[in-house]
Amino acid sequence: MNIHEYQAKELLRSYGIPVPHGRVASSPEEALAAARMLAGPLWVVKAQIHAGGRGASGGVKLCSNPNDVGQSAAVMLGMRLVTPQTGPEGKLVQKVLVEQGVSTVREVYAAVTLDRTSGRLAVVFSPNGGMDIESVAVTSPDRIRTVYADAAHHVWPFQARQLVHGCGLSAKQEQYLTSVLCTMLRLAQEKDALLVEINPLAVLPSGEFLALDAKIQVDDSAVKRQISVAAMEDFDEVHPLEMRARAQGLNYVRLEGCVGTMANGAGLAMATMDAIKQAGALPANFLDVGGGAKEETIANGLQVMLADGQVRGILVNIFGGILRCDVVAHGLARAAEKIQISLPMVVRLEGTNVEAGRRVLQESALPVVTAESMADAACKIVELTEVRA
């Protein structure tokens, strides 16, 4: 789960990390009023969307008077901002953050992220922060330094100090940065974050630091126990199909491919997605209907996939155990009674009550092609949809 920059900054502030004075606004009038409450002579207007790369795409504007703030907010609010991270459809801007602008002498990068390979939190620092951090990672990876926390999510201060040493900072600045990095690690651990990123962390003319940008991503599986973070969720940022699936208790994640995929069990769903990729196409979603699925769950899942404009074919892969194959077949048939299904559909059923399930499918109005194995099912749907990637 992502939260907005202004919310991430509230969290940073609550941990004692300095952030600019600012207010969030949903209209140009609010933005103007916010600017008037902040001391100048510089103001910054920032589009609040769940994507970075705004600076180079018109989502961050420096203004030299409050009227400019109002005008910049009027341009940004309601627009679909396209950045390298949004995809071509962009993201609708519904809020802007108005901040007191500062002049900076330098920008560094600081982050804590979960390293999935080692299963540990990694503390990352680069003296070359700012908007070009991605190209720094490519052209001078040695400018990005990492230290891994131990299994108890702990990093010794001397390790953090090594990250920031030799970057042209004073001893006092090094000491302060060390404490910021350790605080970010504590925040990541306490809030179950997958990412806590400050880019840029600006060095001010006074030598002090200020977090000009903040990005925090919290583990979806931990949202239940992170009540204060859960309350920050912006439902406008969640895809409507994911909202619908969530309301129906479906385990659904929308992806970028064209083959809608339904399976029972997360493992089987993942394996099915792999099989589709191996057959040369990309899955349009992850959908695990689980062991306790009812006919209705199956019907709902199929309808969610069919409501997705990018889906060109459907693959249902069920290994009947607790979830019986005839229940799945009835669910699919039930959905077919409600909506016209014109997309190709391949169903592979195996396990409990498989014969009964196959009979139901044959007698239904579904345009179903059956398959013998997972690989066979994947090849068939890719052939039928002609969407080889």
Q: Does 326 bind Mn ion (CB under 5 A)?
A: no
Phi, psi of 232, rounded to the nearest 5 degrees: -85, -5
Return the residue nearest ligand GDP (CB atom). 55
Paired strand residues for 197: 111, 215
The distance of closest approach from Cβ of residue 5 to ligand GDP in the complex, given in angstroms and rounded to an integer, is: 7
DSSP string, 10-39: HHHHHTT-----EEEESSHHHHHHHHHHS-
Residue 53 touches which of ligand GDP, Mn ion, none (Cβ within 5-8 Å per kind) = ligand GDP
Instruction: Let me know if 148 is a catalytic residue.
Output: no
Residue type for position 310: Q
Instruction: Specify the residue, 51 or 177, whose C-beta has the smaller distance to ligand GDP.
Output: 51
Instruction: Specify the residue, 93 or 329, whose C-beta has the smaller distance to ligand GDP.
Output: 93
Per CB under 5 A, contacts with Mn ion among 190-229 are 199, 213
Residue 201 touches which of Mn ion, ligand GDP, none (Cβ within 5-8 Å per kind) = none
Contact between 260 and 344 under an 8 Å Cβ cutoff? The reply is no
Residue 112 touches which of ligand GDP, Mn ion, none (Cβ within 5-8 Å per kind) = none
Instruction: Let me know if 109 is a catalytic residue.
Output: yes
Contact between 61 and 44 under an 8 Å Cβ cutoff? The reply is yes
How many other C-beta atoms can be found within 10 angstroms of the C-beta atom of residue 252?
A: 23
CA atoms within 13 A on the CB side of 248: 25
Catalytic residue among 109, 337, 363, 386: 109
How many residues contact Mn ion, by CB under 5 A? 2
Instruction: Specify the residue, 52 or 66, whose C-beta has the smaller distance to Mn ion.
Output: 52
Phi, psi of 187, rounded to the nearest 5 degrees: -60, -45
Those residues with Cβ within 8 angstroms of residue 79's Cβ, 6 or more apart along the chain or in another chain: 90, 92, 93
- C-alpha 100/C-alpha 9 separation (Å) is 14
H or E stretch at 167: none
- C-alpha 20/C-alpha 371 separation (Å) is 59
Residue 54 touches which of Mn ion, ligand GDP, none (Cβ within 5-8 Å per kind) = ligand GDP
Instruction: Specify the residue, 2 or 385, whose C-beta has the smaller distance to Mn ion.
Output: 2
CA atoms within 13 A on the CB side of 218: 24
Catalytic residue among 197, 242, 256, 350: 197
Instruction: Specify the residue, 200 or 344, whose C-beta has the smaller distance to ligand GDP.
Output: 200
Contact between 335 and 302 under an 8 Å Cβ cutoff? The reply is yes
The distance of closest approach from Cβ of residue 213 to Mn ion in the complex, given in angstroms and rounded to an integer, is: 3
The residues that touch ligand GDP, with contacts defined as CB under 6 A, are: 44, 46, 52-55, 60, 101-104, 107, 130-131, 199-200, 212-213
Phi, psi of 223, rounded to the nearest 5 degrees: -60, -35
Those residues with Cβ within 8 angstroms of residue 18's Cβ, 6 or more apart along the chain or in another chain: 208, 209, 210, 211
Instruction: Specify the residue, 60 or 327, whose C-beta has the smaller distance to Mn ion.
Output: 60
The distance of closest approach from Cβ of residue 233 to ligand GDP in the complex, given in angstroms and rounded to an integer, is: 20
Residue 50 touches which of ligand GDP, Mn ion, none (Cβ within 5-8 Å per kind) = none
The distance of closest approach from Cβ of residue 71 to ligand GDP in the complex, given in angstroms and rounded to an integer, is: 18
The distance of closest approach from Cβ of residue 129 to ligand GDP in the complex, given in angstroms and rounded to an integer, is: 7
- C-alpha 355/C-alpha 325 separation (Å) is 8
Residue type for position 180: V
Tokens for 326, please give them. 């005839």
Residue 60 touches which of ligand GDP, Mn ion, none (Cβ within 5-8 Å per kind) = ligand GDP
The distance of closest approach from Cβ of residue 25 to ligand GDP in the complex, given in angstroms and rounded to an integer, is: 16
Contact between 195 and 220 under an 8 Å Cβ cutoff? The reply is no
Residue 66 touches which of Mn ion, ligand GDP, none (Cβ within 5-8 Å per kind) = none
The distance of closest approach from Cβ of residue 199 to Mn ion in the complex, given in angstroms and rounded to an integer, is: 4
Residues of this chain that bind Mn ion (CB under 5 A): 199, 213
Catalytic residues: 109, 197
